[in-house]
Amino acid sequence: MGFDILAIEPAVVTDEEFPAWWDRQSAWSEQRDYNDPAGATPAIQLFMADLAETFPPMNGPLRPSEERLEADPELDDRLSDYSIGRQFVFADFGFSVDADENDELAERRFMQLAYRHGLAIVLTTGDRTILRPDRDPLPDWVLDPHG
What is the number of H-type helices and E-type strands within the chain?
Answer: 5, 5
Radius of gyration for the alpha carbons in the chain, expressed in angstroms and rounded: 15
- Reported for 12-16, long-range contacts at CB under 8 A and 24+ positions apart, including other chains, are 12/87, 12/88, 15/130
> How does pLDDT run across 19-57, given as a tens digit for each residue?
999 999 999 999 999 999 999 999 999 999 999 998 999
Q: What does the pLDDT profile of the chain (147 residues) look like in tens digits?
A: 457 889 999 999 999 999 999 999 999 999 999 999 999 999 999 999 999 998 999 999 999 999 999 999 888 888 889 999 999 999 987 655 545 556 678 888 999 999 999 999 998 776 778 999 999 988 887 876 654
